[in-house]
Chains A and B, each alone.
Chain A
Amino acid sequence: MSYQGKKNIPKITSERLLIKGGRIVNDDQSFYADIYMEDGVIKQIGDNLIVPGGVKTIEADGKMVIPGGIDIHTHLQMPFRGTSTVDDFSQGTKAALAGGTTMIVDHVIPEPGSSLLEAFERWREWADEKACCDYALHVDITHWNDSVRQEVLSLIKEKGVNSFQVYMAFKDLYQLSNSEIYEIFTFLGEHGGIAQVHAENGEIIAEEQARMLEMGITGPEGHVLSRPEELEAEAVFRAVTIASQTNCPLYVTRVMSKSAADIISQARKKGNVVFGEPITASLGTDGTHYWSKNWAKAASFVTSPPLSPDPTTPDYLNTLLASGDLSVVGSAHCTFSVAQKAIGKDDFTQIPEGVNGAEERMSVIWDKAVVTGKMDENMFVAVTSTNAAKILNLYPRKGRIAVGSDSDLVIWDTDAVRTITAKTHHSAAEYNVFEGMELRGAPMLVVCQGKIVLEDGNLHATAGTGRFIPCSPFPDFAYKRVKARKQMAILKAVPRGMYDGPVSEFSPMSRGGTPSASARTSPTKAPVRNLHQSGFTLSGKQTIELQ
């Protein structure tokens, strides 16, 4: 593993830390042991460790010590129509750290037609300057041609990006056609990338949006009415089909509805290599708020695919997460101020999309899945960090407490109770979509790169300390099966003798042309009859005579 954040090395030296008496919880097992960290790396795990003197010691008192969360989906400092999301890399990563997340993966969104590499470099600059925790980047493919192909290749081979998102929605903006998606998936499958997909049927959405506006529905409820969940499920189904055809691992970002989640479960049962990512909002709240009389509140829930108005959705998604049918939880944290959302005050299609969730992500899962008995603590670790690390090919550097892993870890207080409110959250957004919710489970102490960044409720994060973590292609978690299938999937032609029988004469017109006039006037004439007089014998009989 090569660390690229050269500028950070001085900050890491001489940081030594010992966590005593904790219960280490990885995705596969839990056990009591002490952890000794040095220079941002876990050096020893066990009982009665021999450590240098003067090391800072933390007493865990039997509490859970878990790998720091990995939020695999954020949009920090995302440009939007001349402005950008209110949480930049500093504000956003602070919110993440406050919630127990020690690494984020942000989406680079190049403007359609512009260079992917340039956009990637721009995001790197923004993040290097401000991020308070380690980060990696997905790059979204917003248009497709040969030069994009080259850029994707160099992002994979030289820049440490292994996951790329395509859009099936946002017609005339980001949306790609089935054929383009097929080509992209084929290409990513060959080069070891993960194909991420924003799955909604943009064609039908465009029709429905026009219909809603025509009906005079302009408020945020129009957003969810024009994007019913079956359009999400349809696109997921199509994406799964294309991925299966091209033998490329698929990752569905933002699983928001029961039916979309069901499609993923079914596909996994049929053997497809597909991962589903519910987000904090879909696990913690629902779409009934789009009908709020408070425009600003309703607008704060606007995200795509929308939150489902079905209030049983969060419970259902938590169940599938617990059973392993859904794999990873992201936050899709993408926050706009009320004034920004108000760009769409007269037209819901203009409301900038995005909800908060970076800070609440881990607590929501603990509260909704672990406390309710759906999920055990090991699975909790899997869906909040380990699986993400495996998909990004960062495992076991990230997502595990083990000797040699990065010392990103969290002491998790299962008994803590927090009431979520915009008054106290770390995001700059005025609204919190989880406002008023009481969540059990919270980080008591957060260690990031071997340094304590959250202790006793106080955040000590420094902008610019986050390092870019390159992700290499062909993650085993996704590609072991894909590689085996590639060898199985070699198609062979049937060796046959040449067909040397008669061939009908046919009009050489293009298939799309109108039929020749002869076909219209004399349908009875059959050049095919000749074949019965040829030397090419067939088993059929002559047409019987008319009776």
Chain B
Amino acid sequence: SNHKGEMSGTGYQGKKNIPHLTNERLVIKGGRVVNDDQSQYADVYVEDGIIKQVGENLIVPGGVKVIEANGCMVIPGGIDVNTCLHKPYLGTPPVDDFYQGTKAALAGGTTMIIDHVTPQPGESLLEAFEKWQEVADKKSCCDYSLHLDIPHWHEGVKEELEQLVQEKGINSFQVYMAYKGLFQMPDSQLYEAFSFLKELGAVVLVHAENGDLIAQEQSKILGMGITGPEGHPLSRPEELEAEAVFRAITLGNRVNCPVYITKVMSKSAADTVATARKKGSVVFGEPITASLATDGSHYWSKNWAKAAAYVTSPPLSPDPTTPDHLHSLLSCGDLQVVGSGHCAYSTSQKAIGKDNFTLIPEGTNGVEERMGFVWDKAVAMGKMDENQFVAVTSTNAAKIFNLYPRKGRIAVGSDADIVIWDPDKIKTITAKAQQSALEYNIFEGMECHGGPVYVVSQGRIVFEEGNLQVQQGTGRFISRKPFPDVAYQRIKYRNKMMCKQGVSRGMYDGPVYDVPATPKYITPAPSAKTSPTTHQPPPIRNLHQSNFSLSGAQIDDNIPRRSGHRIVAPPGGRSNITSLG
């Protein structure tokens, strides 16, 4: 049967996929269903890619495939909100494309990704979007959606944005505060972009780093003869990230627009987000797998290829206490969503920058390891409970990007993207055993507790006891509506509050200094230079001889003050303007 239209607010565009979904019936028995708000023992019955029943003693048709969960956690499939599976670097695509990348995602318990469409400056956003959609439709093994990155701001882009929001199901757009001379927008353009996107009900994603200062630092560091990967973090210290986060939030506050910070990599950037939230700003912070599980000390590795594998922007912080701090903020809700920032370039691609760190293509792996490390470093450490785990790996993303409750929740009517999670599973991360095509895994050798036993995507088992059974092209494009409640409810109320009004006053009818007709910003007249005494032309003195008396002293009044006449009614009588005091 066709499930189209069963859930309001979500249009399925992947028409071609319907055949895959028919006659898929599945019951998960004896598991503990964990959502972001509660955990309960219940069975889950799935049909045609949709969760049909949740409860005990379900009445299900005969011959249905049964998965015994044996008390394991049954959680909503992960949503990875930050991947770059088709972002080219100087003409070369990343080694993990939509097939390779979504396979890695599924192996880690993630059943949906949101990829970044990265048009080049000058390229049409719509064309880029369609290009991405075409490639993803062919290759993706799990459901996907797309963010659009806006490479530069101009009038023409507005129409495309409108179309993308209203017709194409895109509700999130990224702007860049870094990459000077390429993607970077100045504050005034950011202001305009925020204003426009807010009217559309979109979520503004921000790459937050101060590109002007980075450009300065890069040339300084290259000038010192530092060309290796260590130059990357040296030229992008974390305070440049924190600065840009602060500025982005300021802009968001001014425009009254929700702001989402992609790739929170440092303690100070995270603290800035946390502080702003305490002041009421509508801002979301997204740490990524890499910033949660490793640090920037590897940039100093003697192995160039290894050091280069960590190059991403903002860089990993050399401060080894960073991951722990970010996990703490994630646990208490100050940071909301974990992405992977997965963007895989091979060593030979990275080597384009072998003599100049600024040319190293940026990106790290993390799509497969994302959920495991949040479990290992936050839940297993006692920082975070299982419900918050679901929130940061899936539910919050679904809410912010308006996919909830179709995604991000185990409930009747939701998509059957389900993971059976084993907290006791132990895995040692290594490039040898990963799904990604990369030669290096930045988490190489790390032991990770917690992982998926079963992964169900669109109602089908795609991962079972270590084996992936995926098919490229099965992933559907999931369109998303604007004005997600979690971001926009408060914004709407604030809009009503923010109507400003001028003070109604009578007209000012006192004297007005007569400004010379010269343009405002020219060099002073030469007379000012040669005869400073005459530079105090007293046109203002006239006013003291006028019938408009004021209470001040004369300039040359160095003897005891007059106490007398302060006010004389101006011509035409007293007005509220000139009645001083």
Q: Which residues of A contact B (CB under 8 A)?
A: 77, 79, 81-84, 86-88, 90-91, 94, 111-114, 118, 122, 125-126, 129, 172-173, 177-179, 182-183, 201, 203-204, 206-208, 212, 215-219, 221-222, 225, 228, 230-231, 233-234, 237-238, 241-242, 244-245, 291-298, 337-340, 342-343, 345, 422-431, 435, 458-459, 461, 491-497, 499, 501-507, 509, 511-516, 518-520, 523-524, 526-528, 530-531, 536, 538-541, 543-544, 546-547
- Chain A residues, CB < 8 A from B560: 458
Contact with A along B519-533 (1 / 0, CB 8 A): 011111000110011
- Chain A residues, CB < 8 A from B472: 546
Are B88's CB and A519's CB within 8 A?
yes
Q: In chain B, residues 523-581, which have Cβ atoms closer than 8 Å to a Cβ of chain A?
A: 523-524, 528-529, 532-533, 535-537, 539-540, 543, 548, 550-558, 560-561, 563, 566, 576-581
Determine which residue in B120, B237, B246, B348 has the highest number of CB atoms from chain A within 10 A of its CB, and name it: B348
Give the docked Cα–Cα distance between A511 and B533 (Å): 57
Give the docked Cα–Cα distance between A379 and B512 (Å): 43
Are B523's CB and A422's CB within 8 A?
no
A-B contact pairs, 22 of them (CB 8 A): A79-B528, A86-B555, A94-B558, A114-B523, A204-B250, A208-B254, A215-B502, A230-B253, A237-B242, A294-B577, A337-B540, A339-B511, A342-B513, A494-B302, A499-B305, A509-B90, A518-B91, A519-B88, A538-B305, A539-B444, A541-B431, A543-B95
Which 4 residue pairs spanning A and B have beta carbons closest together?
A540-B439, A507-B91, A430-B550, A203-B187
- Chain B residues, CB < 8 A from A292: 503
Are A81's CB and B347's CB within 8 A?
no
Give the docked Cα–Cα distance between A461 and B558 (Å): 9
- Chain A residues, CB < 8 A from B210: 178, 238, 241
Are B92's CB and A505's CB within 8 A?
yes
Determine which residue in A129, A212, A228, A511 has the highest number of CB atoms from chain B within 10 A of its CB, and name it: A511
Shortest distance from the beta carbon of B226 to any chain A beta carbon, whole Å:
4
Is B200 an interface residue, CB under 8 A from the partner?
no
- Chain A residues, CB < 8 A from B227: 493
Are B187's CB and A201's CB within 8 A?
yes
The answer to whether A337 and B543 touch (CB under 8 A), given A111-B521, A428-B552, is yes
Give the docked Cα–Cα distance between A542 and B351 (Å): 19
Are B221's CB and A491's CB within 8 A?
yes
Q: Which of A82, A112, A423, A496 contacts B561 (CB 8 A)?
A: A423
**Which residue of chain B lies nearest to A462 when distances are taken between CB atoms in the complex?**
B558
Are A539's CB and B551's CB within 8 A?
no
Are A342's CB and B510's CB within 8 A?
yes
Shortest distance from the beta carbon of A502 to any chain B beta carbon, whole Å:
4
Are A228's CB and B523's CB within 8 A?
no
Are B500's CB and A523's CB within 8 A?
no
Shortest distance from the beta carbon of A340 to any chain B beta carbon, whole Å:
5
Are A296's CB and B578's CB within 8 A?
yes
Are B91's CB and A509's CB within 8 A?
yes
**Which residue of chain B lies nearest to A531 when distances are taken between CB atoms in the complex?**
B348
Are A179's CB and B216's CB within 8 A?
yes
Are A513's CB and B120's CB within 8 A?
yes
Give the docked Cα–Cα distance between A231 and B254 (Å): 9
Are B97's CB and A422's CB within 8 A?
no
Contact with A along B433-453 (1 / 0, CB 8 A): 111011111001000000000
Give the docked Cα–Cα distance between A130 and B553 (Å): 17
Are B555's CB and A428's CB within 8 A?
yes
Are A293's CB and B503's CB within 8 A?
yes
- Does more than half of chain B's interface fall in helix, strand or loop, or is it mixed? loop
The answer to whether A547 and B91 touch (CB under 8 A), given A179-B215, A342-B511, is no
Determine which residue in A237, A338, A345, A425 has the highest number of CB atoms from chain B within 10 A of its CB, and name it: A338
Give the docked Cα–Cα distance between A425 and B557 (Å): 11
- Chain B residues, CB < 8 A from A178: 210, 212-213
- Does more than half of chain A's interface fall in helix, strand or loop, or is it mixed? loop
Give the docked Cα–Cα distance between A85 and B104 (Å): 69
Are B520's CB and A81's CB within 8 A?
yes
- Chain B residues, CB < 8 A from A204: 187-188, 191, 250-251, 254
Shortest distance from the beta carbon of A231 to any chain B beta carbon, whole Å:
7
Are B349's CB and A504's CB within 8 A?
yes
Q: Which of A295, A423, A526 contacts B93 (CB 8 A)?
A: A526
Contact with A along B120-157 (1 / 0, CB 8 A): 11110000000100010000000000000000000000
Is B461 an interface residue, CB under 8 A from the partner?
no
Shortest distance from the beta carbon of A401 to any chain B beta carbon, whole Å:
28
Contact with A along B277-320 (1 / 0, CB 8 A): 00000000000000000000000111111010000000000000
Given A207-B191, A541-B431, 12 other A-B residues pairs in contact with their CB atoms under 8 A:
A86-B540, A111-B522, A178-B212, A208-B254, A230-B254, A241-B243, A293-B503, A345-B508, A431-B551, A496-B228, A539-B439, A540-B441
Give the docked Cα–Cα distance between A175 and B234 (Å): 28
- Chain B residues, CB < 8 A from A497: 304
- Chain B residues, CB < 8 A from A218: 502
Is B352 an interface residue, CB under 8 A from the partner?
yes
Are B528's CB and A499's CB within 8 A?
no
Is B62 an interface residue, CB under 8 A from the partner?
no
Are A428's CB and B502's CB within 8 A?
no
Q: Which of B438, B500, B561 contacts A225 (CB 8 A)?
A: B500
Contact with A along B77-108 (1 / 0, CB 8 A): 00000000010111111010101100000000
Are B246's CB and A237's CB within 8 A?
yes
Is B37 an interface residue, CB under 8 A from the partner?
no
Q: Which of B247, B346, B500 contacts A528 (CB 8 A)?
A: B346
Give the docked Cα–Cα distance between A290 and B171 (Å): 40
Interface size on B, as a range, is 35 or more
Give the docked Cα–Cα distance between A337 and B554 (Å): 11
Are A424's CB and B89's CB within 8 A?
no
- Chain A residues, CB < 8 A from B254: 204, 207-208, 228, 230-231
**Which residue of chain A lies nearest to B578 when distances are taken between CB atoms in the complex?**
A296
- Chain A residues, CB < 8 A from B221: 491
Are B352's CB and A337's CB within 8 A?
no
Are B100's CB and A503's CB within 8 A?
no
Give the docked Cα–Cα distance between A496 and B304 (Å): 7
Shortest distance from the beta carbon of A425 to any chain B beta carbon, whole Å:
8
Q: Which of B123, B441, B500 contacts A514 (CB 8 A)?
A: B123
Shortest distance from the beta carbon of A196 to any chain B beta carbon, whole Å:
19
**Which residue of chain A lies nearest to B540 when distances are taken between CB atoms in the complex?**
A337
Are B305's CB and A526's CB within 8 A?
no
The answer to whether A337 and B230 touch (CB under 8 A), given A201-B250, A499-B304, is no
- Chain B residues, CB < 8 A from A523: 86, 93, 97, 135
Is B57 an interface residue, CB under 8 A from the partner?
no
Are A219's CB and B503's CB within 8 A?
yes
Shortest distance from the beta carbon of A375 to any chain B beta carbon, whole Å:
27
Q: Which of B120, B354, B515, B552 contacts A427 (CB 8 A)?
A: B552
Give the docked Cα–Cα distance between A173 and B253 (Å): 26
Is B381 an interface residue, CB under 8 A from the partner?
no
Determine which residue in A90, A222, A540 has the highest number of CB atoms from chain B within 10 A of its CB, and name it: A540
Are A501's CB and B213's CB within 8 A?
no
Shortest distance from the beta carbon of A367 to any chain B beta carbon, whole Å:
22
Are B510's CB and A511's CB within 8 A?
no
Are B554's CB and A515's CB within 8 A?
no
The answer to whether A83 and B524 touch (CB under 8 A), given A298-B503, A423-B551, A511-B182, is no
Shortest distance from the beta carbon of B16 to any chain A beta carbon, whole Å:
19
Give the docked Cα–Cα distance between A304 and B355 (Å): 47
- Chain A residues, CB < 8 A from B506: 295
Are A111's CB and B468's CB within 8 A?
no
Are B305's CB and A424's CB within 8 A?
no
Give the docked Cα–Cα distance between A528 and B300 (Å): 25
Is B225 an interface residue, CB under 8 A from the partner?
yes
Give the docked Cα–Cα distance between A339 and B188 (Å): 33
- Chain A residues, CB < 8 A from B224: 491, 493
Is B6 an interface residue, CB under 8 A from the partner?
no
Shortest distance from the beta carbon of B167 to any chain A beta carbon, whole Å:
22
Are A504's CB and B348's CB within 8 A?
yes
Give the docked Cα–Cα distance between A90 and B301 (Å): 65
- Chain B residues, CB < 8 A from A524: 97
The answer to whether A207 and B536 touch (CB under 8 A), given A230-B253, A241-B210, A493-B226, is no
